[in-house]
Structures are given as C-alpha cells and as structure tokens.
Amino acid sequence: MKRVKIVSTGSYLPEKVLTNHDLEKMVDTSDEWITTRTGIKERHIAAENEATSDLILKAAKKALEKANLKPEDLDGIIVATITPDNTYPSTACWVQKGLGLDNIPVFDIAAACTGFIYGLIMAESLIKSGLMKRVLVAGADTLSKFTNWEDRSTCVLFGDGAGVAIVEESDDESGIISRCWGANGNLGDLLIQPAGGSKMPPTKETVEKKLHTVHMEGNKVFRWAVRYMSEAALKVIKLAGMKGEDVDLFIPHQANIRIIEQARKYANIPPEKTYIVIDKIANISAATIPIALDMAIDEGRVKKGDILVFDAFGGGFTWGAILLKW
Ligand code: UT7
C-alpha cells in the first residue's frame, strides 16, 4: 500500500508579540523564571477580532499557493483545536466557507496539544481507505482568549497561531512510515477548562471565577508529559525499525524545553537534530508542530529523504507520534 505524505505546509502567527518583560508588568513573574523554567521568551497574541478560523485561513492560503493548488482541489478539511470559533458550527465549517467551498466533508477534532498528530493520522487513514485523495489538516489555537491573565502559573505559557499541512498519497518512498496515538481520560482533571460546556454551562458566577480559562496542575502534567512523549517518540522509531540516531529532525510539541530535552534523551535523538522554537512561539497547543514544521522547511532544515519525527502530549490526556520520510 502506498504511503501518505505532506505535500505542502503553511503557518500564521498573529502580529502582536507579548514578551516576558511585558508579562513582568502584568503579573508577579520574571523573564528569568519563565526562561529557565520553560524556555519561553515571547508569544504571539491574536487580535480581538481574530478567531481561530481566521488564523487557519491565512495559513491554508499560503499552503495552497505553495503547492499550486486551488481550494477546489481539496477533498476534506480536518481542524484540530480546543479553542473553536463556536461550539458549533465547527471551526472547519468556517474555514470551508472562507475558502469558498460548499460541499466537501469537514470536521473538528479535540485532542488538545496532540490534535495535529491525531488529524494527520485520520487524514492518512481516510486517504488509504480511498475515501479522500487530498486533505487539509490544520492545527490552530487562540489560547490567549481562554487564559486567566491574573494567574502567573498559566498565563506565561501559551500563545496563538495556526499551522496547516496538505496531505495526499505518495508516489515514491516518502510519507508516513509509523505512527502511535493514545489517550487516558482518567487524568482529564489535571488540565482542563472547567466551565463553558454541558457539565458547567457559562453563568455570571463561572465567568467571575474565570472557570472558562485553562486550569492546570503544572507539576503533575509535567511528569506525565515526559513519560508519554518519551514513550511515543521511541515507539514510532522502533516501529519503523530505526534508532534515535537515524532521525534527521525531531519536531516535538513545545510546552516546556525541559520536557523536550527529557523526551529527546529517552529516544536517543541528538540535540542538534531537535527543532526548538518555544522561545519565539511558546505553547500553541495543536498549532505548535505544524508551525514548527513550516518554519523548519523555510529555514532549509528539511530535505528530501530526511526522517522526521513529530511527538506530542496534551490535555485529556492525549499523546501521539509520527515518523515519516520527507
Ligand atoms: O501542552 C501540554 C500540557 N502542558 C504542559 O506540558 C506543561 C507542563 N508543566 C510545566 O511545564 C511546568 O510544570 C510549569 C512551567 C507550568 C511550572 O514549572 P515548575 O517547575 O513545575 O514550577 P512549579 O509549578 O513547581 O512552581 C515552582 C514555583 C512556585 O513557587 P513556590 O511555591 O515554590 O514558592 C510557583 O508559585 O514557581 C512559582 N511560579 C512562578 N514564579 C514566577 C509559578 N509560576 C510562576 C511564574 N513566575 N510565572
């Protein structure tokens, strides 16, 4: 069976940049603490009138243009996000509208920071099953709109942005070689937006208590992130019959530089083959990996035949990894 490959990528980061020094004026924190504990220096913040679908549209148009494709050439759109424009319709429907399409199947998936990996695996299986030929997979989040800007333990961690990949059947050896994905809902309470859903619909009280923002037990999440990301990276490398040294570029989810470092070491991937952009973009949940991939391509870090590994962990908990030949 033929492999499935990424034929084009695009990304978009909102114009406004919020630095650690800006945050020093907002909460009791310091550039020194944020840099040493997380690796983050700055993050991009969406404008008030910029929704998640607006960011995706900008990234999608770039990806289509690069591949010399028109929106009509797409058979489906998958959007991975936990910050949708609305609960319904799906953000994918707004993206479809923005691209001027009106009949292909489109849908959202909610797998938090692992969303882009889940989306790629779903696109791969839809293409391999023959149901679709070409799929646009987007990872996008506007976490700044669901952040408690008075809580220093979370507000320094996140940013906004979108990244997309256009995926189709490969005509050579390039494409996805191995993949793994999983979830453990027993740990869902450790990283959660408590209010705004059917469990706790929005009321004056939930808004006042800021229960529609991210709530995280950082320390516990950190330990699970290290474990699941380390195991997932090693698993896809082993499934492909390879070793860590065979990886040309490791593109992990960027939540914390210390998590990345531990996962990299566990999978035996050399540091110079690990792509780090957390300093510039912070944690953008599902958007982190596709944005990092697009940046790495622009910088000439990805060459034909290279072995790439994507690796992520997020709320749910969810995790997943993909090994592919470029
Ligand atoms: O996207 C996937 C899911 N998310 C993650 O993977 C994130 C995982 N967690 C983490 O990255 C880390 O746990 C954090 C960066 C969130 C926190 O780092 P930590 O080293 O685990 O710090 P901590 O929560 O243990 O806090 C240590 C100290 C505390 O002070 P005391 O109690 O020791 O006096 C905090 O109050 O640091 C304090 N602190 C801060 N100080 C300055 C917490 N946030 C800040 C801050 N500035 N922004």
Q: What is the pLDDT of residues 311-325, one digit of tens each?
A: 999 999 999 999 999
Contacts of 109 (CB under 8 A, 6+ apart): 78, 79, 80, 115, 118, 119, 122
What average pLDDT does the segment 191-196 reach? 98
Q: What local confidence, expressed as pLDDT, does residue 1 receive?
A: 85
Say whether domain 4-172 belongs to CATH 3.90.1150.10.
Answer: no
Say yes or no: CB of residue 33 within 6 Å of ligand 1. Answer: yes
Residue 41: phi, psi to the nearest 5? -115, -40
Query: What single letter denotes the amino acid at residue 156?
Result: V
* Annotated catalytic residue within 20, 93, 113, 180: 113
Cα of 162 vs centre of ligand 1, distance in Å, is 25
Angle value at C-alpha 235, between 178 and 2, nearest 5 degrees:
5
Average pLDDT, the chain: 98
Query: What single letter denotes the amino acid at residue 18?
Result: L
Q: Is the pTM of this model over 0.95?
A: yes
User: Which residues does residue 163 pair with via DSSP β-bridges, in sequence order?
Assistant: 11, 139
Query: What single letter denotes the amino acid at residue 167?
Result: V
Range(s) of the chain covered by CATH 3.40.47.10: 4-172, 176-276+293-325
Residue 172: pLDDT band by 50, 70, 90 thresholds? very high
Tokens of 284: 């953008």
Superfamily covering domain 176-276+293-325: Thiolase/Chalcone synthase (3.40.47.10)
* Annotated catalytic residue within 20, 93, 253, 256: 253
Q: Is the pLDDT reported for residue 114 higher than 90? A: yes
Atom of ligand 1 nearest to the CA of 154: 16
Segment 208-236, tens digit of pLDDT: 999 999 999 999 999 999 999 999 999 99
Q: Is the pLDDT reported for residue 141 higher than 90? A: yes
- For ligand 1, atom 30, name the residue with the nearest CA: 153
* Annotated catalytic residue within 93, 180, 256, 283: 283
